[in-house]
Each structure stands twice: as C-alpha cells, then as structure tokens.
Amino acid sequence: MLHHSTSFNTSKTYNLHGDLKLIIEIKDNPYNFSPEALFQMAVRINKKRQFLFVSRLLGKHLAVDPAISLGTGTILASMLMKNESLDTHPLVNELVQMINSGIPNRKLSLDSLRYKYNLPSKTVFIGFAETATGLGHAVFQHFQDAYYIHTTREEILHMEPSFYFEEEHSHATSHRVYAPEQTLKDADTIVLIDDEITTGLTLSNLIVALNKSFPGKKYKILSILDWRTKAHQDNFNELMNTHQISAEIITIMSGEFSLLNQASIEEKDTPILCGMQPFSVFADEKSSLEITSKHRSEHGIYCNFTGRFGLSSNLHEEMDAWLESFINRLPNLDRSKSTLIIGIGENIYLPLRFALAFGNNTKVQTTTRSPILAKTEELYPIQHKCKFILPDSKGINQYLYNLSEIDAEQIIVISESVQEPSTWFPLLSYLETLAPVSWVSLTHPVRGEDNDY
C-alpha cells in the first residue's frame, strides 16, 4: 500500500543552459512520485518563458507507452472521485507504481479502463489544447452521464465559439470552445484539466470567461503539476472570491520553482522538411463516414470522437468497437512489430487508444507547436528535432522531437483530416527514412471530386 504523504519535501536543481538554472521545491506529493517519472526540464525558444517542463506522460514531446499516458488520466480521475466522496479507482496504487517505475503494464491499463463512475452532480469536463486534450479525455473516460469538450486553436467555419479565452505565456494564445451552449448551461460542475499550472492566470481567464457566460457553476481543476507560489495562490483565491466562484485545485505534484540567471539562447535554424515522395492514405469509407463531423475549418474536417465539438459518455463508449474494426481493416500491417504511432496536434487521445488496441509494442507521440531547443547533452531530454509545416494548414510550423532515437520497425501516422495529400509528403518522406510508414485518415474527405487516394 502506498502512503499518502503531504509533508514530502524535496529540492532539485536543473542546469538548463549556460548559467540558466531552475530550482524546484516539491511541497505536496501525495503518491510519492519521483519528479523524474513525471517530467524532465528543457529550454524553450520563447522570450516570455525560457524553460519547459517536458512531460514523460502525455505523449506530446516525447514518445510514450499508451498505458503510461492513459494511466495518468486514471490517477487524476481517482483524485476527483476521492474529492467527490466516492470510492477511489481500485487500481490507482498499481497505476502509480507503474508510472513511477516507467515500466508499462498493458493488462493493468486495459483492466483500469473498465471502471466507470457516476458523479453526484451534472458534470462537463474541459481539456486544454494543445497538450492536455488527451489527458482531459483520459480523465473523462471513467465517468458515465458526463460530457467532454476540449478547447481548440482551430477556427471552425460558420460557428461562433461558446466562449474563448487567452493563454498568458503561450506561443499560440487564443483558446476557443465550440461546445453546445446548452451543455454548459445544464452543468452543475465544470472540471478543467491541464497538465501544468504555472501561475494560474490561464485558469483564471478561463473560469472568469466561463462564469460570465454560464454563471453559478462549481469548478474543479485537475492538473499533473502545480507550481503556483503563495502569491499566485492568493491572487487566484481572491479573484474567485471577488466573482463568488467556487473553485478547487487538485494536483498530483505541487511546489514552487525559481529561475536563476539568464541565458542567451541561440540555435541554428532547423531546416523545414521538404521531401516530396508520394504516399497513399488509407481512409476506410464505411468507418470514417460514421465518425466524420459536419463541422469543418478552412483547412480540415474533424472526427466526432475527439471532444472538439463535445462528446457524450455514450458516444465515447462506441469508440472501442469502432477502433478495433478500423484497425482490422488496415492493410498489410503487422501488429506484433514495434510501432510508433504519430498523431497530429490536438488529436492525442485517439492515437493513444489506437496504440493500446493495435499491439503490445507501440509508442505514441504527437506533433507540437512548441519550439524547444535541441542539443546533444547527456541527460538533456530533447536531443533532436524536425520542423515542418503542419499539413492542410495556414503554414503553421510544427515539430517532432527525438525521432532519431526511435527504434521502431514501422510508423503509423494518424491524420484526423486529409484535404491536400501533397502537403503531408515532406513529413512522410522524412519518416520513411526512419522506418516504413503507413498513413491513415480517420475522417472522409468532404469534397465532391474524386480524390487520388
């Protein structure tokens, strides 16, 4: 049995770059996680904020086994259950041990997904784009009669967001929420999920924006990490009191950090991938039509299983059967081979569940907008990066990290939408130099003309 300790104190210093150092003081760590199991530190190419907690759990900047990532959502879900005076998840201690050891246990992961709970009040879960969309969904997966939404950077045609808000230190600021307004009006409790709280400003912005449009809700905030200082906590509490909002923050590890010195961060420009080897995309018409949303942006169409337009618990339940039938239709793929599954941007949860269902030797990583400094120093987490234009977009730069370290026998790229196949060729051509690539589209193209797939 793991002991829940609230007096766990530890200090750790990270030498980031040149004289730039970051010191963390862990103050609350109820499951006694080692910091190394949760994150590593890297240098961010952003003048507003020169450091980044690189998660070892999310499958965003570093490839991860789906059992580890999904298990993190289960631990947060269990903490919410405890907070709501429900029984905690029966496998939570085993999941903590799995994540602390870094050794995935697929049977444990599959067993843990079977447990579903009813919350005492009508609840909507909201995951933050881009990093926590999969984490939010991995929390929501354990609740019945609930609803999941994730914020998005996308601008959807012919739709006004229910609301939007700004993120303080990000390189991509506006979050939009396109959920049906009635869903938010009907909710008693709104659960917000992020991977990290630094100052609480983004949270404050979101809660105040939500409260303005949908007053009188109770808020629970779930996060893996919480680094707010006493002053940040006081500011947050004061703001909630001013607006008469009930808001409670629940985290796996909390503490404070301090940044020492400055560093001049210069990096050789990373060339943008430009190969143009042609590839064929697999899009199964029957499977994809079932889950293609009627909503679209200027550049993409979307899948109903992600939560971008709201996802009910009932629709979520249909995902398992859909994924298995979709995988079974994929041509010429050996499910026993070591496989890297690559998702795109905000689409994280489906690649995780795809990887869990596909085979026992899979890892997942998704593309990111975050520009991180890569350098070949021992113990530094980001050794290599590739940069490319996000396919089917307005020319947005995207990154994938540490691909050169991947020892995969095959790569599967999971696209939520494919409109212009040639925009994908630079990335696919590069990946093909690492391992044979299969390219899959979840949705069906909406254009009337015959696409050369």
* Residues 44-58: tens digit of each pLDDT: 887 778 899 999 999
Q: Are 177 and 205 in contact (CB under 8 A)?
A: no
> What residue type is assigned to position 148 of the chain?
Y
pTM (global) more than 0.85: yes
Please report the pLDDT score of residue 286 as a whole number.
82
Confidence of residue 161 (pLDDT cuts 50, 70, 90): confident
Give the percent of the chain with pLDDT over 70: 94
Confidence of residue 447 (pLDDT cuts 50, 70, 90): very low
Q: Are 55 and 69 in contact (CB under 8 A)?
A: no
Weakest mean pLDDT among 205-219, 284-298, 345-359: 284-298
Please report the pLDDT score of residue 209 as a whole number.
86
Q: List, in order of start, the domains of the chain with CATH numbers.
A: 285-441 (3.40.50)
Buried b (16+ CB within 10 A) or exposed e, 129-157: bbbbbbbbbbbbbbbeebbbbbbbbbebe
Q: What is the mean pLDDT of residues 24-31?
A: 96
Does 330 or 2 have the greater pLDDT score? 330
Q: Are 324 and 357 in contact (CB under 8 A)?
A: yes
Which tokens is 303 given? 């899948």
What gap in Å lies between CA 320 and CA 192, rounded to an integer? 25
Q: If 0-12 CB within 10 Å is exposed, 13-18 middle and 19+ buried, where does residue 397 land?
A: middle
What gap in Å lies between CA 153 and CA 435, rounded to an integer? 31
Looking up tokens 């995207």 gives 398
Helix count and strand count (H, E) for the chain: 13, 22
What gap in Å lies between CA 124 and CA 354, rounded to an integer? 24
Confidence of residue 163 (pLDDT cuts 50, 70, 90): confident
Which phi and psi (to 5°) does residue 37 adopt? -75, -25
Please report the pLDDT score of residue 267 as a whole number.
81
**Structure confidence by residue, pLDDT tens digits, 315-364:** 999 998 899 999 999 988 999 999 999 999 999 999 999 999 999 999 99
Phi-psi region for residue 307, left (φ > 0), alpha (ψ -120 to 50) or beta? left
Q: Are 366 and 59 in contact (CB under 8 A)?
A: yes
Please report the pLDDT score of residue 167 as a whole number.
65
Give the percent of the chain with pLDDT over 90: 74
Confidence of residue 452 (pLDDT cuts 50, 70, 90): very low
Residues in the chain, overall count: 453
Q: Are 68 and 282 in contact (CB under 8 A)?
A: no
Segments of 299-436 assigned E as strands: 301-303, 311-312, 339-343, 362-366, 385-389, 397-401, 410-415
What gap in Å lies between CA 139 and CA 252, rounded to an integer? 13
Helix (H, G, I), strand (E, B) or coil at 130: coil
Is the model's pLDDT at 100 over the cut of 90? yes
Q: Are 187 and 122 in contact (CB under 8 A)?
A: yes
Please report the pLDDT score of residue 449 as a whole number.
36
**Distance in angstroms between the alpha carbons of the first and the last residue of the chain:** 54
Angle between helices 92-101 and 66-83 (to 10 degrees): 140
**Structure confidence by residue, pLDDT tens digits, 275-287:** 999 999 998 888 8
* Strand partners for 51: 43
State CA 284 to chain mean position distance: 26
Q: If 0-12 CB within 10 Å is exposed, 13-18 middle and 19+ buried, where does residue 177 land?
A: buried
**Structure confidence by residue, pLDDT tens digits, 381-420:** 999 999 999 999 888 999 999 998 888 999 999 999 999 9
Which tokens is 397 given? 């730069």
Confidence of residue 6 (pLDDT cuts 50, 70, 90): very low
Q: What is the mean pLDDT of residues 306-317?
A: 93
